[in-house]
């Protein structure tokens, strides 16, 4: 009777090799899926224009990330350099970098302050030299970052023993005069950096080297409460004072009050302007962006309400935060923290109305 071959068992080494290959493939598949969710795709968003023969002054152009993509982690501050958009993602401690069409280019990690597990970026501006100035509320400081690789270049407003630039002198509390207590918003104009500090109801002013120049706004009555947006418009510093429900104009040198928008606002935050001088103010609780005349004496338009063309196609705002106006495209970019997106609107030029 002949001898028959019996099946051999799988060798342990072969089994573990197969398991390893499967795990590696699964990890690669997950990484590809995650990246696909984080990006809006090479083509970006196909923005809509005004409908033919439309007489609307505002229309919803689109939003990013698109439907089906991973949402942004509490988008707040936004700024652009004409080529790239930078969006502060507070809950992830990062800056998302996009093209203006919404396609994502990179994610920059904001360096956390010493002893802090993660940064909490709430606002940002691009400086004249192309670097990013990021308000890190959890670190009580402003971080100057390389806009391309995210490397920390300098720090403004941190305690002197944290390597801060610009702590000159000491106050009665023992804090450096240049130290920030609760930074909330930032603006940069002609080399001067303005940082709103809710901790002492002032706007601290730094030169281009990060040295403290002074503080303005302390003598305003009623005092500043919680400044959440700033923009220099026609030589004056417009400030949205959220808890006071107002937007006021300050002399950037003396800090004296130069005027105000003639309307009480429902938690105003981001502020911007176009070349015609129209002022855009985000009204978070009102879920709109109000457009004021250059004189600030009346509302001339509203963005994100039911009168917005395309409102039912996603044009409604949930929790708008900050705003950026792009003069080249006549589009308004609004961060919406509840929606986890940047919403984009066409704004008709004043001459075309």
For 281-322, what is each residue's pLDDT tens digit?
999 999 999 999 999 999 999 999 999 999 999 999 999 999
- Whole-number pLDDT of residue 34: 45
- Whole-number pLDDT of residue 262: 86
Per-residue pLDDT band for 219 (boundaries 50, 70, 90) equals: confident
Q: What is the pTM of this model?
A: 0.84
What gap in Å lies between CA 124 and CA 320, rounded to an integer?
Answer: 16
Please name each of the domains of the chain with its CATH number: 12-352 (2.120.10.30)
Per-residue pLDDT band for 173 (boundaries 50, 70, 90) equals: very low
Average pLDDT over residues 206-212: 92
- Whole-number pLDDT of residue 160: 53
> In 90-235, at which residue ranges do the beta strands (DSSP E only) sit?
94-99, 104-109, 121-126, 132-136, 141-145, 152-156, 183-189, 192-197, 202-206, 212-216, 227-233
- Whole-number pLDDT of residue 67: 85
% of the chain with per-residue pLDDT over 90: 75
Beta carbons of 195 and 201 less than 8 angstroms apart: no
- First-to-last C-alpha distance (Å) of the chain: 102
pLDDT over 50 at 238, yes or no: yes
Average pLDDT over residues 196-210: 94
CB atoms within 10 A of CB 298: 11
What gap in Å lies between CA 3 and CA 153, rounded to an integer?
Answer: 78
Most confident of the ranges 28-42, 150-164, 166-180, 281-295: 281-295
Beta carbons of 103 and 40 less than 8 angstroms apart: yes
The pLDDT tens digits of the residues spanning 85-143 come to 999 999 999 999 999 999 999 999 999 999 888 999 999 999 999 999 999 999 999 99
Specify the DSSP element, H or E, that contains 62.
Answer: strand 58-64
Specify the DSSP element, H or E, that contains 26.
Answer: helix 12-38
């Amino acid at each position: 009777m002949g001898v028959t071959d019996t099946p051999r068992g799988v060798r342990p080494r072969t089994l573990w090799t197969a398991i390893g290959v499967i795990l590696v493939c699964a990890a690669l598949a997950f990484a590809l899926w995650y990246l696909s969710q984080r990006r809006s795709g090479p083509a970006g968003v196909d923005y809509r224009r005004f409908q033919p023969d439309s007489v609307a002054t505002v229309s919803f152009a689109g939003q990013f990330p698109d439907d089906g993509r991973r949402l942004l982690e509490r988008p707040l501050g936004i700024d652009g350099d004409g080529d790239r958009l930078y969006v502060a993602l507070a809950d992830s401690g990062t800056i998302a970098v996009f093209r203006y069409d919404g396609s994502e280019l990179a994610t920059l990690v904001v360096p956390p302050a010493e002893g802090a597990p993660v940064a909490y970026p709430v606002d940002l501006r691009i400086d004249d030299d192309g670097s990013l100035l990021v308000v890190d509320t959890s670190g009580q400081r402003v971080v100057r970052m390389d806009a391309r690789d995210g490397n920390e270049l300098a720090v403004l407003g941190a305690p002197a023993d944290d390597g801060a630039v610009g702590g000159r002198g000491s106050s009665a509390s023992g804090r450096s005069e240049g130290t920030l207590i609760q930074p909330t918003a930032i603006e940069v104009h002609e080399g001067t950096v303005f940082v709103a500090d809710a901790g002492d109801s002032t706007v601290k002013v730094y030169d281009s080297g990060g040295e403290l120049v002074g503080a303005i706004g302390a003598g305003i009555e009623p005092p500043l409460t919680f400044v959440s947006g700033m923009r220099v418009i026609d030589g004056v510093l417009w400030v949205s004072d959220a808890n006071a429900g107002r937007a006021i104009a300050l002399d950037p040198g003396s800090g004296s009050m130069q005027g105000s928008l003639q309307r009480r606002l429902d938690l105003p935050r981001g502020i911007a302007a176009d070349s015609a001088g129209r002022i855009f103010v985000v009204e978070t609780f009102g879920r709109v962006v109000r457009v004021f005349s250059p004189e600030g004496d009346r509302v001339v338009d509203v963005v994100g309400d039911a009168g917005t063309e395309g409102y039912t196609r996603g044009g409604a705002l949930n929790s708008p935060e900050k705003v950026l106006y792009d003069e080249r495209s006549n589009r308004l970019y609004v961060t919406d923290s509840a929606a986890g997106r940047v919403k984009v609107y066409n704004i008709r030029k004043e001459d075309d109305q």
